[in-house]
Structures are given as C-alpha cells and as structure tokens.
A and B are shown apart, each in its own frame.
Chain A
Amino acid sequence: MTGMNHEDAIREMAVEKYLLGELSGDSRNVFEEHLFDCQLCTADLESGVTLLEGTRRELAASLQEGTASARRRFFPVWLSPAWMLPALAACLVLLVYQSAIVVPGMRRQMAEANTPAVLNTLVLTGGQVRGGELLKVTAPKAGSFLLSVDIPTSTGYASYLCQLQAPNGSIVWSGRVTPEQARDAVQVLIPSAITKAGENTLVVSGVLGNGPDAKMDILATDRFTLEIGN
C-alpha cells in the first residue's frame, strides 16, 4: 500500500476514522506511519481524543442528572418525605380516632335505633296547659322522648309546620305535617341529644299555600320542661 501524505489524510478523514476505530490492518498502519511524522495530524488527533473523552464524561453526567431528575419529578413536591411523614401521622391519628370513638358511637346509636324501647311521652294539647304548670318529660341522655301533638286543624291550610325550640330559643327541629296526618295526634320522636334540658317550646303553624315564601299562621305554642337523665 502506498504511503499517505497530509492532504490524503484530510481528504480521507483519516483522523476521524482513526478516532472512530474504523481503520484496520494496512490502512491503520499506513495512517499511523504518516501520523508519527505529521505534527498537524497529531495535534488534530489529540484534540479529537480530548473532545471525545470530555464529551463522554459530559453526556454521561447529563444522562445521570436526567435520570435523577426524572426520579424526582416522578415524586412531586407534595409527595416528598418532608410532607409525607406528617401527613401520614395525621392520617394515622384520624384513623385511630374514627376506629376507637366515632364508629363505635355510630354503631351504638344504630343499634339503639333498631331496638324496640318504651319511651316517655308528653301529650301537647295545643297550648292548653293544665293547672298552669308546665308539663314535664324526662328522657335518658342517650335516648329519646315522644311528643304527642294535637294540631288545631282548619280548612285553608295546605300543611302544618311543627318547630321545636331549645331553652335558648334556637330552633333545633322542624317538620311538615299533612292535613291527613293532622286529623289524629301527631307522634314526634325527639332525641335528647338535639336539644337541652330546661324549658323547650313546640310551635305549630298553619302554612298557607305551597312554596318557600308561603305565609304561615301560628296556631299553637306548647311549652314544656325537659329533664335529661343519665
């Protein structure tokens, strides 16, 4: 094989081929023979080696950074340990509270609601208080009492409204009664928990018409004393 001069090396991209390992056998030997005698090709080759070694390190580092970043992006900020640990602790506390307190209480109430029981009953006769004394009813703390209400019916009312006021005047319950239901005494089950012990008031109103703006006439106001036992 004939020798190589500098122009041959440039034209054939011999330095690039050498860097890429694409020269072999005689072609490699010929180039190396030229290389050892050509300081220009030597300088070019050394620049290429420096560049490619630096490129390998630079691109390897960016690849690692990219991998690490993607890993970080996979877990958004709000999933980082700094947030996660306190959040998990709070969830655990809530879970324990619900399991130990709330759910058993709900189950107890459901069980009581589904169990037949004798209730203390207070008969309200439309604002007429016998003997001037307030009627009294006693109910257990976690139980209920029964109000039996005689509604003074009259034609012209589309329905009747019953409202229970606690001792502080706040309305703790209200319920609609149809004219058909009002023909007989209306039985209302009141859980002790919705009101307070003391003087409670049941207000009965006649509702003229339908709709939210229908006018009402107060027909009866029954005050009674609630005693809440243990």
Chain B
Amino acid sequence: MEFQTFDASYLNKLRSRDEATEQHFASYFGELITLKLRSRLQSPEAIEDVKQETFARFFTLLRKEGGIREAERLGALVNSICNHVLFEYYRAGKRTEPLDDEAAVNLLDRQTSALGQMISMETRADIHEVLNGLPERDRNVLRSLFVEERDKDTVCREMGISRVYIRVLVHRAKKAFRERSARVH
C-alpha cells in the first residue's frame, strides 16, 4: 500500500480536481467507508448511497471557503461526515442496525465482484500458503467462524479456546500473510 500524506498540498490538489489525487481519495476512503458501513448496513445499495452522499458532502465542504482547516485530520473529517449521513439514514427509517458483537464475517464482502475475483486470484497462493502453515485445529477455527459462520462463543466452547486465542490466531495469520505478500509481490 502506498502511503499518502494528507496535508495542505493534498487538499489543494483535490480542490484543483487533480485526477490522480481524486482517484486516490475515492479509492482510499471509499474502501474505508465500505468496511465501516458493512457492519451497519445490510444492502450494498444502501452502503453505496451513504458512501456517495459522504463524498458529495465532503467535496462541497472542500470547495467552501474555510470549509476544511486541518488537512492532517482529513480522515477524521471524512469519518465524521459519514457518521452524520449514517445517522440521517437511520432516522429516515431505512436502517438495519446490527446487534453488538455480530458474526465475524460482517466486514467481509458477501458478494464477490469481478474485481474481488481478480484480486483473490492474485493473492490466493499467499493465502493458501498461510493456511497450510496453520495447524489443523486453527484451520478448523477459521472454517467454523468464516465459512460455517458459527457463533464465536460456541466455537470457543467446543474447541476449548478463548476469544483471545481467536484474536491472536487472526493476528498471526494476518502478519504471515502481509510478510509473504511483501516478500513475493
């Protein structure tokens, strides 16, 4: 991932409609907003609506004189705008507020898009190797949570593990995946 510095220069490029900067903004924050909304909204259409409204309000504020003062807090601003849009969406009666501690697959894309297919093919080998490096028990934990979508407490009880164990498992797998991706690609 290419890290971008959110500063005054970045804001100026956005104001001047610099294409590369606009694409980066839409890609970077679009992904973050999508992940945030997946745990709150059920339909992809609702997620897209809220995302587009968030962008629209951001760019309105961007082009307003003195609308954005702290470039370094650009991310927090986008998040705040998204929260307001989401709140209005809930108030409009169209919300589906998930319960606390939902199933672990909340953030995962349930609809595999063409882009998602291409990306998964590219990284499939890395993921395959990471999974092969895990003990069978850990693969069973991941299968129970993310394929069978079983309740986490039930899985912990049946397999004699704790919630902390699951978090550590995800952490180690993610670390191995990132190290492998950085090494190979």
Distance (whole angstroms) from the CB of A15 to the closest CB of chain B: 8
Cα distance, A48 to B145, chains bound together (Å): 14
Residues of A within 8 A of B39 (CB): 21, 28
Most buried by B among A25, A33, A53, A63: A53
Which residues of A does B touch, CB under 8 Å?
13, 15-22, 24-25, 28-29, 32-33, 35-39, 42-60, 63
Contact (Cβ within 8 A) A19 B127 = no
Cβ-based interface call for B57 (8 A): no
Interface residue range, chain B: 35 or more
Most buried by A among B116, B177, B181: B177
Contact (Cβ within 8 A) A42 B32 = yes
A-B pair count, CB < 8 Å, reads 129
Contact (Cβ within 8 A) A58 B107 = no
Residues of B within 8 A of A19 (CB): 104, 107, 170
Instruction: Name the residue on B nearest A37 (C-beta).
Output: B75
Distance (whole angstroms) from the CB of A103 to the closest CB of chain B: 57
Interface of B is mostly: helix
Residues of B within 8 A of A39 (CB): 1, 3-4
Segment touching A, from B15-23, B43-51, B61-69, B95-103: B95-103
Find B124's partner among A13, A17, A54 (CB 8 Å cutoff): A54
Cα distance, A39 to B32, chains bound together (Å): 10
Cβ-based interface call for B85 (8 A): no
Find B76's partner among A18, A37, A54, A57 (CB 8 Å cutoff): A37
Distance (whole angstroms) from the CB of A30 to the closest CB of chain B: 11
Distance (whole angstroms) from the CB of B102 to the closest CB of chain A: 4
